Amino acid sequence: DCVDMTLDTFDAIGLSAFAIIGAQNGIRAGTSMVVSAICGMTTSTFGGLTRDVLCGRPVRIVHSNAEIYAQPALAGAIIYLLAHRARAAPMFRISLGMIACMG
Tens of pLDDT, residues 66-95:
578 889 999 999 999 999 999 999 999 999
Report the candidate in 43, 37, 15, 41 with the shortest Cα–Cα distance to residue 83. 37
Average pLDDT, whole number, for the chain? 91
* DSSP string of 32-68, one letter each residue: -HHHHHHHHHHHHHHHHHHHHHHHTPPPHHHH-SS--
Mean pLDDT along residues 16-41? 97
* pTM of the complete model: 0.87
Which residue type sits at 59?
V
Grade residue 64 by pLDDT with cuts at 50, 70 and 90: low
Residue-level pLDDT at 66 = 55
